[in-house]
A and B are shown apart, each in its own frame.
Chain A
């Protein structure tokens, strides 16, 4: 790297890292990016228009490809060979990793909802968790800029849990499908509104990315760039400035300091040669994903930083939050045998159910503190290994039942806000190293009553909506503690290096700059002070754009 006189090193090429690289290179700074996985090119590697019959095992998932054969994730998933993680006794936690350029943005759901003004002030509202160190109004213009750059389809609804974007920012959403309209009508009867989901999917062309042509699931990746991923947008755009160099297969190990404890380098393992390299660094941005960045900090112990780097507060690895998750669904008899048409659309829900209970919370009418939303699963989907469900009989009568039932199943997936608690954290497992010799993460996890009561409420509500649609149930609702998905399973883990306004109870200031090391920033979801139920990626990118802009101003001033 002697020939490339970079000013900033970024670890990670996903939502946060790529946005930081884009922002800095656009302002003329030279950036070196380390990515732990291999290079990846969606234009040539995305399986567009493939059918499940063309894949092994009808495309179904397994330990090699957890979300199915065609899922864009490369060298990742719930397990990464040679890179284990451990869990404490009684703790169930799943950690999704992607080892590829672009990280998890290659397969994410593209749900891109803004957090609301009240989301930034949870502690002020109910005394739980932590406030963010700024107001929504501070972030709103950055949301606009990010949405404009990323390309979000959706509408301004005026609902209190969906802040409006500036005029002209959002692209038109696709029309809703039949089962979604039926959910909408049923929810309306219960006083609950539905709205077009905001998704990072172009319905109008942008830059050199095409508009969606409404085929091929976004989770497979998108060769035409309609579904946002950093590998077809921010990374090539940053590279086009001539100021970004990317080193792939570079597994960051630790951040190094000089004899005064000042950060001056980063060490990574070249996975191809298994050699360790140290790169001098003036400024380091960690954007390796919330728990991987915290792992790097905790593994960076030195005389001046005995508890790990930037950890004088003891909060690195604490305050981890995922989204709560549970699904509940039913066959809707009235939808059986309905007229066929192409329901692929942009391949995720066109309508969803935003959280409707903000006012109820204000009036203290709910026995759980934080909200949730429902995503709607339905439609005439491409047949796969689970197409028929469990049916009785054989022959033509059986086939007719299967064909009648096709497209009549509706599920509601709850995604809710959890609160941080002292039982949900990570530490370094001193007894286990990965194949690169790096000590691994040990997770601890326990849901609290807040999450379980919320899930109970969600299950009851989902059942009422489905019943209003004409579904009937013979079994009682499952218990919340049995139905709630595992920690980490929604892949929204945040908070491990949270930001705040005091170095005593947070790891970074509002700019993602660590309190202890002025030249180390965190720009992934680790900095989240809370985890609103609205999916993290849009806010990761918005914060990275805002905070990298601030970082640039500090470099301009010579403050770093």
Chain B
């Protein structure tokens, strides 16, 4: 079913950079929690398709009950994998496809999935803090919605339809426009959440930080040099245009 141009699909899942040690740690946590299924994770309410017009999954998600990193974490060696990750391989693969639609490869600049943005999304939606839990609500619903919508339109999961078909769906939800059809209102808001997260995770990565042009975080001997000549020239032009002077 999947187009062979697809980088990721059901048969070519995204490989998380989760370490074996981290995975084993969570396995332990999950088996303990298995005795209390209501306390952990976020299982989608059902696998039943929800493909009526204006559909929205409204997943019933249980709150993440894991602990955070606490009030005194080690700041020098930052804790990794503090809470169990909740995204399944299928969900991670869908996040990878979306991430690369949002931030595709551009010449030598890698795409979002190439710098492991899906892992950051997974860490984020799995975190036990209120902001992340609010995002999780949107993001898990939009992931399910994309599959529902894809099945409705193309009779296959989102990751298994061609890039062109994927974009047909994304085009409907990627813009907050005045004539937005009511059926896309919720998907549009939810897509905005994951877009913001993907952009941040990309630009935070070493490659993304370079791409955005951040030149700091290096020690300077002597006085702070201030703006470059080029930057000053640009400012002078701006001041002229605005009728301002220093």
Contacts and interface: CB of A to CB of B under 8 A. Distances in A.
A45 B220 contact: no
Interface in B82-134: 82, 101-104, 106, 120, 123-124, 127, 129-132
A47 B75 contact: yes
A182 B216 contact: no
Contacts of B206: 51, 53
Interface string A112-126: 000000000000000
Interface stretch (A7-15, A172-180, A295-303): A172-180
B231 A399 contact: no
B201 to A, nearest CB: 7
Contact of A392 (B68, B120, B174, B230): B174
Nearest to A61: B131
B129 A63 contact: yes
Contacts of A382: 209, 214, 216-217
Given A69-B73, A392-B176, A387 B102 contact: no
A64 B131 CA distance: 12
Given A50-B75, A60-B131, A81-B71, A470 B204 contact: no
A387 B200 contact: yes
Nearest to B131: A62
A544 to B, nearest CB: 27
B41 to A, nearest CB: 19
A450 interface: no
Contact of A203 (B71, B130, B223, B244): B223
Contacts, number: 229
Interface stretch (B16-24, B48-56, B232-240): B232-240
B200 A188 contact: no
B185 interface: no
B195 A75 contact: no
A383 B214 contact: yes
Interface stretch (A213-221, A422-430, A483-491, A545-553): A213-221
A427 to B, nearest CB: 27
Interface residues of B, number: 72
Interface string A516-539: 000000000000000000000000
A401 B13 CA distance: 30
Nearest to A341: B228
B179 interface: no
Nearest to B202: A399
Interface stretch (A342-350, A409-417, A500-508): A342-350
Nearest to B176: A392
Nearest to A340: B213
Interface stretch (A240-248, A254-262, A316-324, A331-339): A331-339
Interface string A39-57: 0000011110111111111
Given A65-B71, A215-B218, A399-B106, A174 B223 contact: yes
Contact of A56 (B69, B71, B195, B239): B69
B176 A64 contact: no
Contacts of A338: 231, 234-235, 238
Given A177-B226, A334-B241, A380 B196 contact: no
B220 A213 contact: yes
Q: Which of A44, A45, A65, A216 has the most chain B CB atoms closer than 10 A to its own CB?
A: A65
Interface in B205-225: 205-206, 208-209, 211-221, 223-225
B211 A388 contact: no
B35 to A, nearest CB: 27
B170 A63 contact: no
Contacts of A359: none
B209 A51 contact: yes
Interface string B116-159: 00001001100101111000000000000000000000000000
Interface residues of A, number: 85
B78 A388 contact: no
Q: Which of B124, B211, B219 has the most chain A CB atoms closer than 10 A to its own CB?
A: B219
Contact of A176 (B103, B226, B234, B245): B226
A399 B103 contact: yes
A340 B231 CA distance: 7
Contacts of A214: 219-220, 224
Given A188-B245, A215-B216, A384 B196 contact: no
A47 B231 CA distance: 30
A233 interface: no
Contacts of B212: 383, 387, 402-403, 406
A302 B103 CA distance: 67
A62 B130 contact: yes
A557 B132 CA distance: 61
Contacts of A495: none
Nearest to B109: A399
A46 B176 CA distance: 42
A383 to B, nearest CB: 4
B76 interface: yes
A536 B103 CA distance: 45
A60 B196 CA distance: 14
Contacts of B215: 340-342, 380
A56 B127 CA distance: 9
A381 B103 CA distance: 21
A181 B236 CA distance: 10
Given A56-B78, A394-B174, A185 B203 contact: no
Interface in A462-489: 468-470
Q: Which of A62, A74, A386, A468 has the most chain B CB atoms closer than 10 A to its own CB?
A: A62
A329 to B, nearest CB: 17
A470 B238 CA distance: 10
A468 B242 CA distance: 8
B175 interface: yes
Contact of B239 (A81, A185, A343): A185
A288 interface: no
B246 interface: yes
Nearest to A220: B75
A45 B73 contact: no
B130 A57 contact: no
Interface of A: 38, 44-47, 49-58, 60, 62-65, 69-70, 74-77, 80-81, 172, 174-178, 181-182, 184-186, 188-189, 203, 212-216, 220, 334-335, 338-346, 380-396, 398-399, 402-403, 406-407, 468-470
6 contacts: A57-B127, A174-B226, A182-B235, A339-B234, A382-B217, A390-B196
Nearest first, the 10 A-B pairs at minimum CB distance are: A175-B226, A344-B216, A388-B199, A213-B219, A62-B129, A174-B224, A185-B244, A47-B75, A383-B203, A340-B213
Given A391-B195, A406-B214, 17 more contacts: A53-B204, A53-B209, A55-B78, A58-B120, A64-B71, A172-B223, A175-B226, A177-B227, A189-B244, A213-B221, A341-B215, A341-B230, A342-B225, A396-B104, A399-B103, A402-B199, A406-B213
